[in-house]
Structure 1
């Protein structure tokens, strides 16, 4: 507001998501020849007291304008501004520290002939100290005129939790997955909140390194049957919760989306049946 209205109480349009203010970052020599829009890398941080071992989720909104606010944007291919939201679960204040967990978004405010606008971002981490550090960072690594960005509406809450209920051994190739979760009051009691729990589930064979998506956006009352490709082997499963508001209808504003952490993997052993129906030998494969 000071930048746009020239005072704390001045009346002017302020680019923001909520409240009366936002943070604006502008390139040096924004539109001044001969080299407008100098590169920059700016980080804001804040330390918060937390509970050690607690899962926390950070949501925030950012807007980047490569080439200024004129439309259509003249931002060249390969030139970008990176919006980044981060958490250091150890409480460190170095944005380049190895403990910082980042999420990045490079979308410009205008792409492919359409306005993209403000971008909501979420990141989560498990607190490893009594202090946790939040980071909001804008990087503009290439020089281009008009480059500037906004940061607003940062919200840290206890992350939504998820628990996967699944037997550790099954006979045959089918296992039924069930789950439950928890949404904390700092999410559900936001004014006008319609936040609900959604669950993502992933799996992998014990000899595979990469996780594969099994289900996305499941609700707490859902169940899921998984069919293994082989027996006498192990599959691993994990789950995470998300707190989001339905697209339709009213809800809390800003529209924060909170991302939970992936659970520890749960191992399920698929056993070969002792005998198939009618006494015939089982023909199930041992191959993954």
Structure 2
């Protein structure tokens, strides 16, 4: 869908009453997204494999640890990898919305069992039919509410969908409340999501707007801050996190994506950063409290 049509659609949805707008959004997502659960799980698997290699290199063992995931998404993909592949004792997954459905979880339980040679047993007393050791907490704002005592904090492509001030406040809060030695793991995708449905756009197209202009374009359904890699690192360093690992991918010259990026008339706020910093994507960082 053309990004302008998509913006009009989301703007229209945002005028509807609460819950009605979410219902319509879910229906539209289901209509346009033709990927299967197996397709989606494959995407999560790539995150698991990338994480697994780095944890092994760093000699970090998650066996019998308690993991706190924020940004649960549509199904418990990473919680299952944490429990059945990393051997975590408990995985607590939190989300500001409620997306899990019993039918999807039951399908996932069967799929994960077959695909990864794991015995995923549903807890019959669990509302979503999740297995023991995986707990779901929807409608929970982690910026405003407590964070339990855990060993690992994990997020997968969530930070870019948070308000910039909330990203700062969350890391301030975690630094003040988490026990020393706790790991904080983030996968971050700081690209313009409108490009995912419209290849004519640059991944950095939204860097041309000032804050007021950008706020008028996106909605709660496609909210995306525009923090660049140096800005994320500045927040982490501000609260004295140890950066245990960092890797990312920047655009290579003489590629179509780079050519599209160079056509973007950058707003003054972003001209101080290098091309590498502006186009850094698929960021993977491990912090230590």
- The interval holding the TM-score normalised by the smaller chain is under 0.3
- Greater Rg over alpha carbons, structure: 1
Kindly indicate which of the two structures has a greater share of residues assigned to helix: 2
* Structure number with higher relative contact order (C-alpha < 8 Å, ≥ 6 residues apart): 1
TM-score (ref. length: structure 1) = 0.21
Kindly indicate which of the two structures has a greater share of residues assigned to strand: 1
TM-score (ref. length: structure 2) = 0.21
